[in-house]
Structure 1
Amino acid sequence: MKKFTSVITTAGAAALLATGMGFSGAAMAEDAGLSESAKKGKEIAFGRGAGNCLACHQMKGGNLAGNIGPALIAMEARYPEREDLVAVLKDPRDKFGDQTIMPPFGANKILSDEEINNIVDYLYTL
């Protein structure tokens, strides 16, 4: 049984690498035009760790995106004042009320101010 598990683990790792760890070749090419801050923001937003925006939101290039929150499109048009979007990420309860299910990423120290600003830089490219 141990050998079978090892084969599955190896096959899974190979499949993950073959798919570019969730990014297609086209998505990687798009990243070339992003600022360093926006690239970091995308990494956080797409990551399954602290940011994990795809758990709830759809966004360009996201695989298995969530459908709980609104799609992350035209973000600069929706939030022309950058500070407003930063404030939503820091503590969405201020805009949406205490019943929002979006985590207060800044207020709970889930993300640092720098990470939130990186994410906003990326969201403004969508």
Structure 2
Amino acid sequence: MKRQIMLAAGLMLAATSLQADVIAPNDVVANEYGEIAMSLTGQPGNPQRGAEIMVSRGAGNCLACHQVGALAEFPWHGEVGPPLDGVGARWDEAGLRGLMVNADTMFPDSIMPSFYRISGYTRPGDAFTGRAAQGELSPLLAAQDIEDVVAYLMTLTDY
């Protein structure tokens, strides 16, 4: 019994230390160009999970605005944003992370959502506005979600 308690405490400590490595949305530091060199989690991204986030309408929903040839089997590719084919050859991780966290920093007046930002802008909808007023607003994607999408985007090197 005592060993089980110690094991559980160790697992809780490990989980806490993983959480401690996550950079909070308001603590993210970008350079003068909007690039974010440091990983938000300190953990490598999972490209397969990144692709899942991109095609999920309840998560990234990237295909609503972008075309991605490697994801052609998924319907409804948008034409609002630029095609993402070759994006991994055009941008480095810091640039892609900056675009995901807050595209407006890199491209003023961009309509791309700030996926890891919780303040400094108005998010539409009564549910978001009410939660923001109570200090309960969370980013659209979690820090590891951002890292996973960046890892997938880095695989898109062909045009």
Q: TM-score, normalised by structure 1?
A: 0.67
Q: How does 1:55-94 map to 2 (within 5 A)?
A: 55-60=64-69, 61-62=71-72, 63-79=75-91, 81-94=92-105
- RMSD over aligned Cα atoms: 1.6
Q: CA deviation at 1:73?
A: 1.0
Instruction: Give the 5 Å matches for 1:106-121.
Output: 106-108=116-118, 109-121=139-151
Alignment length (residue pairs): 90
List structure 1 runs of 4+ shifted beyond 6 angstroms.
none
Instruction: String of CA shifts for 1:42-98, please: whole Å, max 9, x gaps.
Output: 00001111200000000022322000000001112110x31111011000010011x
2:76 is aligned with 1:46: no
Q: Determine which structure has greater relative contact order: mean sequence separation of CA pairs < 8 Å that are 6+ residues apart, divided by chain length.
A: 2
- Please say which structure displays the higher CA radius of gyration: 2
The percentage of aligned residue pairs carrying the same residue is 37
How big is each residue's C-alpha offset from its partner over 1:6-41, in whole Å with a ceiling of 9 and x where there is no partner? Answer: xxxxxxxxxxxxxxxxxxxxxxxxxxxxxx811110
**TM-score, normalising length: structure 2:** 0.53
| CA distance in structure 2 between the partners assigned to 1:112 and 1:57 by the alignment | 21
Q: Which runs of 5+ in 2 are unaligned?
A: 1-44, 119-138
